[in-house]
Amino acid sequence: MPDSGPDPRVADLGFARLDVDRAARTGDPEVVYGAGKTPEQLVTILRTLHERHPDRAVLATRLSEEALATVPEALPEAVVDRVARAVTLGPLPAARGTVAILSAGTSDAPVAAEAALTIRVHGAGVDRIDDVGVAGLHRLLGVRDRLASADCLVVVAGMEGALPSVVGGLSGVPLVAVPTSVGYGASFGGVAALLGMLNSCAPGVTVVNIDNGYGAGVFAARVARNAAPRPDAS
């Protein structure tokens, strides 16, 4: 059979084959998982994806300290989020819908920040509600109106992972729970929180993997983008 030439849906960089057709298929371009990649590889990947999608931001997550310092030097237009350990290149899309991100404690901030940046890159707005863990329930009860006004909730917690169950019992908004690796020895690096969330007695709690703020962010942004207009919307 004759050679049909390179596949236009793939950008072959030698060390990586980028799925540049993903935005057309799913509505969202490929995101770069930065762990294990050199800064030079990250720069090449981000530049290539940006050239294919110049109208919207591309995202690289889980960057090393070296990459967080090096990538912006090669790509001056890149924006670094050091808390999320991530970089974006290109303009963020207009937000459709709102995701409220609840974190149990300050130690959960890196995962919550990764979720927040992912949501913005994937085209939804963000309402951050930090440090509302179950050890002080009055803090959570004081923001119930913000839960009700969101199109989706991302609930980030470590330790025993109880916060999503409590939030799920207070609100009927779609909810994705993110267990974090925060906690003492018997938390087993987030396994205790993961199992607690999977065994939640509150209905409608969806769970992603330990520390997976990115996965939760994509899910929540897609829910928010596709949410039906509210009856009181102008």
More confident residue, 22 or 225: 225
Q: What pLDDT sits at residue 225?
A: 93
Q: Which pTM does this prediction carry?
A: 0.90
70: Cα within 13 Å, side-chain hemisphere = 15
Question: What is the SS3 assignment for 84?
Answer: coil
* Average pLDDT for the chain: 90
Residues 120-145 have a mean pLDDT of 92
Separation between Cα atoms, residue 62 and residue 232, nearest integer Å: 39
Distance CA 61, CA 198 (A): 25
pLDDT at 187: 92
Give the span between the Cα atoms of 131 and 84, in whole angstroms. Answer: 17
Tokens 């793939």 belong to 10
Query: pLDDT tier at 229 (50, 70, 90 boundaries)?
Result: confident
> What tens digit of pLDDT does each residue of 65-119 get?
999 999 999 999 999 999 999 999 999 999 999 999 999 999 999 999 999 999 9
Start-to-end C-alpha separation, the chain? 59
**CA 106, CA 86: separation in Å to the nearest integer?**
18
| 191-216 average pLDDT score | 95
Where does the pLDDT of residue 11 fall: very low under 50, low under 70, confident under 90, or very high at 90 and above?
confident
Give per-residue pLDDT as tens, 14-65: 777 887 788 778 888 889 999 999 999 999 999 999 988 888 899 999 999 9
pLDDT at 232 over 70: no
In 3-state terms, the chain is what percent helix, strand and coil (to 5)? Answer: 40, 20, 40
212 or 227, greater pLDDT? 212
